[in-house]
Amino acid sequence: MSKKKTGKKKTAPYKEVTTGQEQPAKKGLLEELEELRDKGETSTARYLEVLKEVEVMYGTGEVNNFGTNDINILKDKLSNLTKADLQSFARKVGINPYYQPSALKQNIIKEFHRYQAKGNIFTAPVPTPALELDPDNPEHKELLDWLNS
């Protein structure tokens, strides 16, 4: 029987050298969207592009009849629709489709504002933390005794 040769593990003849020009970690879409909002750049093309990508990721078009949660994207969409497409879209969102196109667009926008006012994830209030009562505090203890009785 032949014996297997055990060889030395080869090591690199050099140590890894960095140039100091490494690329920073890429931001996620939500971080980029928040950053653009904080800067006040909500009317820029980049903001709309990122917002559309986020809405596609979260499936806003599947849940929301308007296909978006942003009024600027909706207005852009309405400006590109033909009369037949506009009527079909109006039926989809629950509006009488037999108005003139300009009145139909205004009605769709009004309905969009009503939909937004009803509440969604962007307009929902931020939950407030519950009141914490300390049983060692005499005032809190009195209130806790009253609540537990």
pLDDT tens digits for range 86-141: 999 999 999 999 999 999 999 999 999 998 888 656 556 677 888 888 888 888 88
- Higher-confidence residue of 82 and 128: namely 82
Q: Are residues 77 and 98 in the same domain?
A: yes
**Residue 145 resides in a domain:** no
**Residue 146 resides in a domain:** no
Q: Are residues 72 and 31 in the same domain?
A: no
> What is the C-alpha separation between 27 and 34, in angstroms, rounded?
11
Q: Are residues 48 and 87 in the same domain?
A: no
- The answer to whether the CB of 117 falls within 8 A of the CB of 110 is no
**Residue 10 resides in a domain:** no
pTM of this structure: 0.59
Helix or strand or coil: residue 137? coil
- Domain tally for the chain? 2
The predicted model gives 28-57 an average pLDDT of 86
The predicted model gives 47-55 an average pLDDT of 87
Residue numbers of the domain that contains 84:
66-121
Q: Are residues 74 and 114 in the same domain?
A: yes
Q: Are residues 104 and 74 in the same domain?
A: yes
